[in-house]
A = this chain, B = another copy of it.
Amino acid sequence: MPNDKGVIVVLSGPSGAGKDTVLKKILKKSEKISLSISVTTRKPREDECNGRNYHFISRNLFEKMVQNNEMLEYVEYCGNYYGTPYKPIDELTRNGVDVILKIEVKGGRQVKKLCPEAVHIFVLPPSFKELETRLQIRGTETNEAMNERLKIAKKEISAALQYDYIVINKDSNQCAEDIFEIIQVEKLRAKRMEHTIKVLIDA
């Protein structure tokens, strides 16, 4: 493949790390970067829109997709499935579009197995204190739920070292720029340039 194939990016990080804000800023930087929309079997919330937040599908269809190896990764969480179908990502990257998958650490591991050329980026808050503050501001959590989230976050952060890159979200503009630059630089990886080299040697 020529090196103008799009890059698959796995983006993970604890709740409160600010992934959504950063994502919006990355997507504004280029039309050639797209966000993968997951499929789920859970019911849409009132403010959610099919095809924007998720593709909402039946449990039956989801299980068929898993059986047909159509999922790049999937998890079951609180009785609902969440997954990333491979086909739309493949079409986008073939057309030179970079695709970002905002998924959990567990899903990221599945992507690594099926798609070793994917780039794994972990977003961290600048400190635990900052993470706590952000979750408090969000205000959707009880104290107990928040402590639980912080405990999970600490565990997830240990997983960060298995990622390729770690970006610290101190300033969301800088963080978006860091991730954007990682994607550009990954296109210069020798393993993505085999085609270019062969053309040059044979010329």
Contact = CB atoms under 8 A, between A and B. Distances in A.
Interface of A: 122, 124, 127-129, 154, 157-158, 160-168, 178, 181-182, 184-185, 188-191, 193-194, 196-197, 200-201, 203
Chain A contact residues, majority secondary structure: helix
Contacts of A165: 185, 188-190
B164 A190 contact: yes
Contacts of A161: 190-191, 193-194, 197
A168 B195 CA distance: 13
The count of identical subunits is 2
A127 B185 contact: no
A196 B181 contact: no
14 contacts: A124-B197, A124-B200, A127-B200, A128-B200, A154-B201, A158-B201, A161-B191, A161-B193, A161-B194, A166-B190, A166-B197, A168-B196, A178-B188, A182-B188
Nearest to A161: B190
Given A122-B190, A181-B181, A201-B158, A166 B127 contact: no
